Amino acid sequence: SPYQRLSQRMQDITGDRGVLKEVIREGAGDFVTPDASVLVKYSGYLEHMDKPFDTNCFRKIPRLMKLGEEITLWGMEVGLLTMRKGELARFLFKPRYAYGALGCPPLIPPNTTVLFELELLDFLDSAESDEFFALTAEQQDMFPLEKVLKVAGTEREFGNYLFRQNRFHDAKERYKRTSLILCRRPFHPGEQGHIESAKLLVFLNLSFTYLKLERPTRALVYGEQALAIDPKNAKALFRCGQACLHMTEYERARDFLVRAQREQPLNHDINKELKKLASCYRHSMDKEKEMCHRIFSPLHSSAVQQN
């Protein structure tokens, strides 16, 4: 059969030929860790069928899935632990590593060997992060700064993945959790610069996320917190300008955007936002003139009639 021929050139990664692997494209870096959350594209095939019975390749950005919790196929989890970032591989899963003796009627017959193609886009090792958030606040404060910054970085990366999936509320919660551990952290001399750099990134993330959630007041708050750390940060100035424009505070918006342009004169997004501001301002003035005309025209007509 096709799967029997394919299996002859595949590597046995479980020792019982339950999971066989063939690398199509090599990856790079470390292997996936047991506590990781993975970003993986997959397609599952039955023998003698050209179309997959299960795939997530239609998604632009797949959902981030945690090993041991959100991946239900034992064979897929075993296979992922042998992969590196960027790797594309083909696996054969025997029934005990796939859908078992019962299968998954009516789609998967009993005792079926299935083929899966997996592409590991990225993964995040959340072991330290999970351990950290299981502790009390007092215990967290005793963690070395290096580990706190690593946890903060992992949480921010989780937020970034959620943001790219347009899950802005979930991304906001991740960013706020990152902000909390950084802002609460008691620092010693020499640590402030590292903490402030990490806070700057997460404040910028929060400002952008609140803009996506159409909450410009909160976006402005976090943008200004970023500016308190770096007053000339073009991205923070730009976010504040965007927030003020959303709130129709045109003078403040212009002040922030002009300062941002001063830092990055050739930035396309900043220049585009300034043009948008000018258009909104003109439209606002036209509406104000029209409203004044409507208010005072009847008064003028009345005065003419009296004369």
What mean pLDDT do residues 52-56 have? 93
Q: Which of 54, 55, 40, 126 is nearest to 87 (CA)?
A: 40
Q: What is the pLDDT of residue 305?
A: 54
* CA dihedral for 53, 55, 58, 59, sign (positive or negative): positive
- High-pLDDT (> 70) share of the chain, %: 91
Mention every residue, 6+ apart, whose C-beta is less than 8 A from residue 4: none
- Report, as an integer, the average pLDDT of 189-196: 84
Domains, the chain, in order of start with CATH, read 2-125 (3.10.50.40), 128-293 (1.25.40.10)
pLDDT of residue 126: 80
- Average pLDDT on 267-278 reads 93
Residue 296: the pLDDT is 54
Per-residue pLDDT reduced to its tens digit, 141-191: 888 888 889 999 999 999 998 898 888 999 999 999 999 988 887 767 778
Least confident interval from 28-37, 57-66, 223-232: 57-66
Q: Which residues contact 143 (CB under 8 A, 6 or more apart)?
A: 132, 135, 151
pLDDT at 301: 52
What's the mean pLDDT in 130-139?
84
pLDDT of residue 138: 82
Beta strand pairing call for 19-25 and 88-93: antiparallel
> Structure tokens of 110?
């009993």
pLDDT of residue 189: 72
* Buried/exposed 267-290: b ≥16 CB within 10 Å, e otherwise: eeebeebbeebeeebeeeeeeeee
What percent of the chain stands above pLDDT 90? 62
Residue 18 burial (CB count, 10 A): 19
304, pLDDT greater than 50: no
Q: Is the pLDDT of residue 210 over 80?
A: yes
